[in-house]
Amino acid sequence: MIELKRVIAVYFSPTHTGQKVVNAIASGFETETIVEIDLTKDTEEFHAKDGDLLIIGAPAHGGRIPTVAMERIKGIKGSGQPAVCVSMYGNRAFGNALMELNNIIETNGFVIIGATSFIGEHSFANKKRKIAEGRPNQEDLQTAKFFGAQIKEKLSGAGINDIRKLSIQSHIPGKLPTKPAGSMPKMVSKPTEDCVDCKVCIGVCPVGAITDDLSCDAERCMTCFACVKSCPHEARELKHPLVSVLAYAMSKQKDKQPQFFI
């Protein structure tokens, strides 16, 4: 039996959907020690220890892991510890993002023993364009907790020398991309007349794209739109023809459900 001492809950989650799901999965292990690492803000390297289990979540942008998230994930290092990978997507498709995440975590020295995809409210969603509204909801989080409990049960029957036999890497859907992720179209947010200059948007941007005058640097923006989602006064907006077209199409889709690979 593999002795589990700590769960390391890691996420890159500008709009907090992945944060919620990763922490819910972690709660399913019912371990006393959970170490939380927010790669949205924290860029320090982390080295896992014996007895650690990693749960790591990242968003899918156009079916790929965003470049900035990928670079920060590279700093999470292991030496044979088990890991669970989580891909968050806005009800369209996670594409090759889960495969990409699994590959980098395996390259970093972990053994992938579980993976999952969950739905989060899309960054383009608003009151008029509802896309997976409120996801992950309470049912999603309960499902995530149950998934964590399943992974714990899987580990409980494994001898210390069996950890690599638990690998599910060959069962992950998608193809490993051979080229860097392409750039998203330049779609910057802007403050509206309701803006009170609270500067919350500056603090939540994971790449420092919001300037002191509250405009958005298009060259730095990663199109997560945490600035829009996090504004307490709903005083930032995203206007771009492509956004309207995509958001309309996605708002007509039925909400999808999580997928699990154990």
- Give the residue-averaged pLDDT of 59-69: 93
Same domain, 161 and 197: no
Same domain, 141 and 198: no
Least confident span in 93-102, 116-125, 171-180: 171-180
Domain membership of residue 130 (yes or no) is yes
Q: How far is CA 161 from CA 47, 110, 154, 155, 157, in A?
A: 21, 14, 14, 12, 12
User: For residue range 161-187, what is the model confidence (pLDDT) as tens digits?
Assistant: 678 889 997 788 888 888 877 777 788
Flag whether pLDDT at 139 surpasses 70: yes
Q: Domain holding 205: CATH number?
A: 3.30.70.20
Mean pLDDT, rounded, of the chain: 92
Flag whether pLDDT at 19 surpasses 80: yes
- Of the two residues 221 and 239, the one the predictor is more confident about is 221
Q: Domain holding 81: CATH number?
A: 3.40.50.360
Q: Is 63 left (phi over 0), alpha (psi -120 to 50) or beta?
A: left
Flag whether pLDDT at 157 surpasses 60: yes
Least confident span in 17-26, 38-47, 248-257: 248-257
Number of domains, the chain = 2
Least confident span in 203-212, 238-247, 251-260: 238-247
The closest of 119, 96, 109, 97 to 15, measured between CA atoms, is 119
What is the pLDDT, as a whole number, of residue 1? 59
What is the pLDDT, as a whole number, of residue 83? 97
Same domain, 46 and 152: yes
Distant-in-sequence, close-in-space partners of 51: CB < 8 Å, separation ≥ 6: 3, 4, 5, 6
- Give the residue-averaged pLDDT of 239-254: 82
Q: Is 17 left (phi over 0), alpha (psi -120 to 50) or beta?
A: alpha
Of the pLDDT bands very low, low, confident and very high (cuts 50, 70, 90), residue 127 is confident
State the Cα–Cα distance between residues 83 and 4, nearest whole angstrom.
12
Same domain, 127 and 31: yes
Domain of 203 in residue numbering reads as 189-239
What is the pLDDT, as a whole number, of residue 160? 56
pTM above 0.75, yes or no: yes
Domain membership of residue 119 (yes or no) is yes
Same domain, 170 and 207: no
Domain membership of residue 182 (yes or no) is no
